[in-house]
Amino acid sequence: MSLIPAVLKDETLRADIDQTVPVSGVVIWWLGQSTFLVKARDGCVLFDPYLSDSLTRKYHDTDKPHVRMTELAIRGDQLTGVDLVTSTHNHTDHLDAETLGPLIDANPNITMVIPEANRAFVAKRIGCVADWPIGLNDSESRVVGTMTIHAVPAAHNTVDRDEMGRCKYLGYVVEIDGTTVYHSGDTLLYPGMAELLRPFAVDVAILPINGHRPERRVSGNLFGDQAAQLAKEIGAKVVIPCHFDMFTFNTESPKLFVETCEAIGQPYRVMRCGEPFKVA
């Protein structure tokens, strides 16, 4: 199967990121699956990077092969100037040791934000000192350099908590140079979700659209129409879909997402891997 080509990749993509210095607002690159690089004049955040083929190798000889659909745009060790990296939960496409180890080595001053409930697991997986990442629970916030990051619950498939009541799955709202970006992580809808998010006045909502199909035997996400409706309900100025076109067994077409956005008047942008998008 031919891979979907990245718009920019490897050193061309790296040069584009390095040379882009927004005067105002942010520039966003989709790097595949749920991985987004958001760069402002005075800060750069990398959401949930999966920049390897670790899952394809892991599941190659199983009954659930993770066959890659889109080219790998860039590796973790090729990205520099990253101030903040996130993990919304412990699944490998959101917490990948093969990505994070080289990324952290290439960015010695980087800060990592994780769900506090997952601290021990994160430290073991990526081999870091246990107290190094910043751990958040839902409703907590932290200032990292010029950015402020807020944690909100995610339901994957439910809003799961540990024995201390801390969320195992989070979404993050990041305020960066006057732009508010909401990255939901993996999530389904849950009661009060829109009401919780609306006060943040989200400029950019990044939401999964691969849906929830039990026959896949993996935790589910929003379908495209649900992502469009949620973006509309929270007042997002633009919504970007993600978590599709990575693995053949766990993807959906963005067609339903696009049709719903156009029907309800929700501004959207369907990005291609390795493509930059300027948000004024």
Instruction: Establish if 145 belongs to a structural domain.
Output: yes
Rounded to an integer, what distance in angstroms lies between the CA atom of residue 59 and that of residue 118? 23
| Coil/strand/helix, residue 125 | helix
Range of the domain at 130: 10-279
Specify the length of the chain in residues: 280
Structure tokens at 66: 């993770």
CB 248 within 8 A of CB 214: no
pLDDT in tens, 131-173: 999 999 999 999 999 999 999 999 999 999 999 999 999 999 9
Tokens of 79: 């990205």
C-alpha pair distances (Å), 22 with each of 160, 209, 228, 279: 38, 29, 28, 10
- For residue 265, the SS3 value is coil
d(CA 171, CA 134): 15
Contact 131, 125 (CB under 8 A): no
Over the stretch 224-268, which tens digit does the pLDDT of each residue have? 999 999 999 999 999 999 999 999 999 999 999 999 999 999 999
Cα separation, 117 vs 159, whole angstroms: 13
Q: Read off the amino acid at residue 122.
A: V
Q: What is the dihedral of CA 177, 179, 184, 190, to 10 degrees?
A: 130
Secondary structure of residue 86 in the 3-state scheme: strand
Which pLDDT score, from 0 to 100, does residue 255 have? 98
Q: How far apart are CA 124 and CA 141, in angstroms?
A: 24
The answer as to whether 52 is a domain residue is yes
Q: Tell me whether residue 4 is in a domain.
A: no
Q: What's the Cα-to-Cα distance from 163 to each of 117, 118, 166, 170, rounded to whole Å?
A: 9, 12, 8, 16
Q: Taking all residues of the chain, what is their mean pLDDT, rounded to a whole number?
A: 97
How far is 124 from 7, CA to CA, in rounded Å? 35
* pLDDT for position 280: 84
52-85 pLDDT, tens digit per residue, is 999 999 999 999 999 999 999 999 999 999 999 9
pLDDT at 1 over 80: no
> Percentage of the chain with pLDDT > 70?
100
Residue 2 domain-assigned? no
Task: Pick the closest to residue 195 from 143, 247, 160, 230 (CA basis).
Answer: 230
Total structural domains within the chain: 1
CATH code, domain with 130 = 3.60.15.10
Residue 5 lies in a domain: no
Neighbours of 161 (CB within 10 A): 15
Whether the full predicted model's pTM is greater than 0.75, yes or no, is: yes
Is 3 part of a structural domain of the chain? no
Please give the structure tokens belonging to residue 237. 């100025």
To which residue do tokens 């718009």 refer? 7
Position 124 in a domain = yes
Closest CA to 151 of 139, 168, 161: 139
Residue 102 lies in a domain: yes
